Protein backbone atom coordinates (compact mmCIF):
# COMPACT_ATOMS: atom_id res chain seq x y z
CA UNK A 1 0.00 0.00 0.00
CA UNK A 2 1.20 3.47 -0.87
CA UNK A 3 -0.18 6.61 0.75
CA UNK A 4 0.36 9.55 -1.57
CA UNK A 5 1.82 12.95 -0.92
CA UNK A 6 -0.75 14.65 1.31
CA UNK A 7 -0.78 18.08 2.94
CA UNK A 8 -3.17 20.78 4.11
CA UNK A 9 -2.94 24.11 2.27
CA UNK A 10 -4.68 25.86 5.19
CA UNK A 11 -4.17 24.74 8.77
CA UNK A 12 -0.85 23.18 7.70
CA UNK A 13 0.26 20.36 9.94
CA UNK A 14 3.64 19.50 11.29
CA UNK A 15 3.76 15.72 11.78
CA UNK A 16 5.90 13.52 13.98
CA UNK A 17 5.68 10.02 12.53
CA UNK A 18 6.68 6.65 13.89
CA UNK A 19 5.92 3.04 13.05
CA UNK A 20 4.55 0.84 15.81
CA UNK A 21 4.49 -2.41 13.77
CA UNK A 22 6.07 -3.30 10.44
CA UNK A 23 8.10 -1.03 8.19
CA UNK A 24 7.48 1.92 5.84
CA UNK A 25 9.52 3.96 3.37
CA UNK A 26 8.59 7.49 4.45
CA UNK A 27 8.87 10.59 2.22
CA UNK A 28 8.64 14.35 2.85
CA UNK A 29 8.61 16.92 0.00
CA UNK A 30 9.28 20.63 0.50
CA UNK A 31 6.38 22.52 -1.14
CA UNK A 32 7.27 26.02 0.10
CA UNK A 33 7.93 28.03 -3.08
CA UNK A 34 10.18 30.52 -1.22
CA UNK A 35 12.41 27.74 0.16
CA UNK A 36 15.81 26.96 -1.39
CA UNK A 37 14.82 23.27 -1.18
CA UNK A 38 11.43 23.72 -2.92
CA UNK A 39 10.53 20.53 -4.80
CA UNK A 40 13.24 18.47 -3.08
CA UNK A 41 12.40 15.36 -1.13
CA UNK A 42 13.93 13.28 1.61
CA UNK A 43 13.16 9.76 2.71
CA UNK A 44 13.91 7.29 5.46
CA UNK A 45 12.91 3.80 6.50
CA UNK A 46 10.81 3.78 9.66
CA UNK A 47 10.13 0.54 11.47
CA UNK A 48 9.13 -0.85 14.80
CA UNK A 49 12.60 -2.37 14.95
CA UNK A 50 14.71 0.73 14.29
CA UNK A 51 12.48 2.98 16.45
CA UNK A 52 13.25 6.02 14.27
CA UNK A 53 10.83 8.91 13.99
CA UNK A 54 10.49 11.53 11.25
CA UNK A 55 9.52 15.16 11.76
CA UNK A 56 7.67 16.58 8.73
CA UNK A 57 7.36 20.37 9.19
CA UNK A 58 4.36 22.42 8.07
CA UNK A 59 4.79 23.28 4.40
CA UNK A 60 5.81 19.76 3.38
CA UNK A 61 3.82 17.04 1.63
CA UNK A 62 4.06 13.60 3.21
CA UNK A 63 3.62 10.05 1.96
CA UNK A 64 4.78 6.52 2.63
CA UNK A 65 5.02 3.05 1.17
CA UNK A 66 4.38 0.03 3.38
CA UNK A 67 7.33 -2.31 2.77
CA UNK A 68 6.24 -5.07 5.15
CA UNK A 69 3.15 -7.31 5.10
CA UNK A 70 1.49 -5.06 7.68
CA UNK A 71 2.28 -1.72 9.28
CA UNK A 72 0.86 0.50 11.99
CA UNK A 73 1.80 4.17 11.58
CA UNK A 74 1.26 6.71 14.33
CA UNK A 75 1.18 10.51 13.89
CA UNK A 76 1.31 13.42 16.29
CA UNK A 77 0.25 16.62 14.52
CA UNK A 78 0.50 20.33 15.29
CA UNK A 79 -3.04 21.05 14.07
CA UNK A 80 -6.30 19.23 13.46
CA UNK A 81 -7.15 17.42 10.24
CA UNK A 82 -9.14 19.72 7.97
CA UNK A 83 -10.38 17.62 5.03
CA UNK A 84 -11.61 20.70 3.15
CA UNK A 85 -8.00 21.95 3.02
CA UNK A 86 -6.35 18.62 2.23
CA UNK A 87 -4.49 18.32 -1.07
CA UNK A 88 -2.64 15.45 -2.77
CA UNK A 89 0.30 15.38 -5.18
CA UNK A 90 0.78 12.34 -7.41
CA UNK A 91 3.11 9.86 -5.76
CA UNK A 92 4.89 9.16 -9.07
CA UNK A 93 5.24 12.75 -10.32
CA UNK A 94 8.06 12.89 -12.89
CA UNK A 95 9.34 16.28 -11.72
CA UNK A 96 9.77 15.06 -8.15
CA UNK A 97 11.30 11.74 -9.29
CA UNK A 98 10.96 10.05 -5.90
CA UNK A 99 12.86 6.75 -5.80
CA UNK A 100 10.14 4.59 -4.25
CA UNK A 101 11.42 1.05 -3.52
CA UNK A 102 8.59 -0.55 -5.44
CA UNK A 103 8.10 -3.00 -8.27
CA UNK A 104 4.87 -2.93 -10.25
CA UNK A 105 1.80 -0.91 -9.40
CA UNK A 106 1.11 -0.09 -5.74
CA UNK A 107 -2.25 -0.33 -4.00
CA UNK A 108 -3.61 3.24 -3.97
CA UNK A 109 -6.69 4.93 -2.55
CA UNK A 110 -9.02 6.81 -4.88
CA UNK A 111 -7.69 10.08 -3.40
CA UNK A 112 -4.12 9.09 -4.27
CA UNK A 113 -5.05 8.07 -7.82
CA UNK A 114 -6.62 11.53 -8.29
CA UNK A 115 -3.58 13.50 -7.04
CA UNK A 116 -2.29 16.45 -9.04
CA UNK A 117 1.04 16.82 -10.79
CA UNK A 118 3.54 18.83 -8.74
CA UNK A 119 3.53 21.68 -11.30
CA UNK A 120 -0.26 22.01 -10.94
CA UNK A 121 -0.48 21.55 -7.18
CA UNK A 122 -1.43 24.36 -4.85
CA UNK A 123 1.72 25.05 -2.82
CA UNK A 124 2.83 27.41 -0.06
CA UNK A 125 4.31 30.85 -0.82
Dist CA 108 CA 85 (whole Å): 20
The residue from 6, 7, 62, 80 that is catalytic is 6
DSSP conformational letter for 116 = B
Query: Is there a catalytic annotation at residue 75?
Result: yes
Q: What is the CA radius of gyration of the chain?
A: 14
* Cβ-Cβ contacts under 8 Å for 25 (sequence gap 6 or more): 43, 44, 45, 64, 65, 67, 100, 101
CB 91 within 8 A of CB 41: no
Query: Is there a catalytic annotation at residue 7?
Result: no
The residue from 7, 62, 70, 75 that is catalytic is 75
Strand order through the sheet with 23-30: 41-47, 23-30, 60-66, 2-8, 86-89
> Which residues carry out catalysis?
6, 75
Amino acid sequence: MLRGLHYQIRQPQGKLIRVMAGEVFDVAVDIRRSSPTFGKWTSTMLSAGNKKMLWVPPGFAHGFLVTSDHAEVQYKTTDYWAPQHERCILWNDRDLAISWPIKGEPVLSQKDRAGLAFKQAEVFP
